[in-house]
Chains A and B, each alone.
Chain A
Amino acid sequence: MRLRPLLLLCLLIGRPTWAASELVAIPSGAYVPFLLQSKPNSAQDQFQKTPVKVDSFSIDKNLVTNEDYLKFVKSNPEWKKSKVKRVFADERYLQNWSSDLKLAGPEDRKRPVTDVSWFAARAYCESRDMNLPTTDQWEFAFFDNGRNQEAVKEKVLAWYGQPTARHLSKVGAEGKNEFGVYDLSSIVWEWTLDFNSSLPGSGLSCGGGSVGTLDSSDYAAFMRYSFRSSLKANYTTGNLGFRCVKEKGAP
């Protein structure tokens, strides 16, 4: 008991700034997405690699942590696990939290929040006047202007090859890329705003420039696109987290 004030003092002094509120600026640029684009007005089987332009934006340096998300739930009670509507988040939602407003343990505070749905992740970002990154924004941040791509691919493939750790690493533990964004594709998978935008099998799609054919030479990217297209907006799972972005010019 006597230790308690001291402990509290340590916590106050040692308390880092709210991790997820630190943003990294990503300059505009272009990258070639994994999904090939069909050539406009061409036969369905003619596909090409088309660079996509990405406008500048800012992105959370770190994944959103349990601690960050807890603050959000406190001020947005409709996202408590006892209150959330199933249409927005399935039964697994925040399953590792011991109760509505309690994490399983203090060590979870700096771990990325997982078991959150797309609706939940979006609501969190919107509460900060931000949004989930589009798949293009996320992939562009990950692409890192083409720097160290071989090393990154190797690292990512090694991560995919591992079963999900029982306890996730703390955010920031897996290092940053040259943009300064931490832990991309090394602790958890991440929600994107348009996770449901790839339509494999162009026969199902409508419109001129259909997407659909996969470039099988990049297995890590194939895994990401497959993973995203397997999701539904109310799904939650233990290895899927998120971070938020702010568009250029947004307040």
Chain B
Amino acid sequence: MKILLISMLTFLSAQASAHQHSNVQTEAPSTDSIFNLKSAWTDQNGKAFHFDSLNGTPSVVAMAYTSCQSSCPLIIEEMRKIEAEISEKSKKPVRFLLFSFDSKRDTPQQLKAFAEKKKLDMNHWTLLHGDPKVVRDLAGVLGISYKMDSSGDFNHSNVITLLNSEGVVKSQLNGIGQSPDDLETQIVQIQKASTSAK
């Protein structure tokens, strides 16, 4: 399944570089694009982040929180594996974004310290802090379930989402696992769509 995701990423990043030539930045986002979210997030350097800054590059996106002891490290490991494999296959840029559920504890400083501790390659990665409202918006768009418990920890579903260079959800890996056939079919569909568009 992961190989399929990688090949999709390779394909999408090839598309992305094609788009960089055609200068699509000025167009309104497509109706099903996450770029329609006007939420303001803050990155690990304290800089404002908006979704449309992802325009032109495929992105691998997940939600987690850094004080999580159980499944969150696994999501990050999974994303790092994807990062390693895609870097071998393609030099085209792919972004890796981790959005925190934890508005209270995951300050930009905390996210930066976490990224350093995990030795994340900050040429590829962005870690993001947002208030509870923007967390809800993003979880809504990505179809992620979560709940804060009385100790301030979060129960949440583990979902890794692949966005294409226009910010449209192309594929999701979740805790239950997806049938490889689904992904294969999706890739074929994307390829067909892009061929007919040319």
Contacts and interface: CB of A to CB of B under 8 A. Distances in A.
A197 B147 contact: yes
Pick from B137, B145, B157 the residue with the most CB of A within 10 Å: B145
Contacts of A198: 145, 147
Contacts of A196: 139-140, 143-146
Given A119-B140, A194-B147, A196-B145, A205 B31 contact: no
Interface in B55-108: 64, 68, 70-72
A3 interface: no
Nearest to B144: A196
Considering residues A85, A205, A208, A209, which has the most beta carbons from chain B within 10 angstroms of its beta carbon?
A: A205
Contacts of B147: 194, 197-199, 211
Nearest to B28: A85
Binding site secondary structure of chain A: loop
A161 interface: no
Contacts of B70: 206-207
Interface of B is mostly: loop
Interface in A68-104: 85-88
Residue among A196, A211, A229 facing the most chain B CB atoms (10 A cut-off): A196
A87 B145 contact: no
A240 interface: no
Contact of A87 (B33, B71, B175): B33
B160 to A, nearest CB: 13
B157 A88 contact: no
Interface of A: 40, 85-88, 118-119, 193-194, 196-199, 202-211, 229, 232-234
Interface of B: 31-34, 36-37, 64, 68, 70-72, 136-137, 139-141, 143-147, 149-151, 153-158, 175-176
Given A40-B151, A207-B156, 8 more contacts: A87-B31, A87-B34, A118-B140, A199-B156, A206-B71, A211-B147, A233-B140, A233-B143
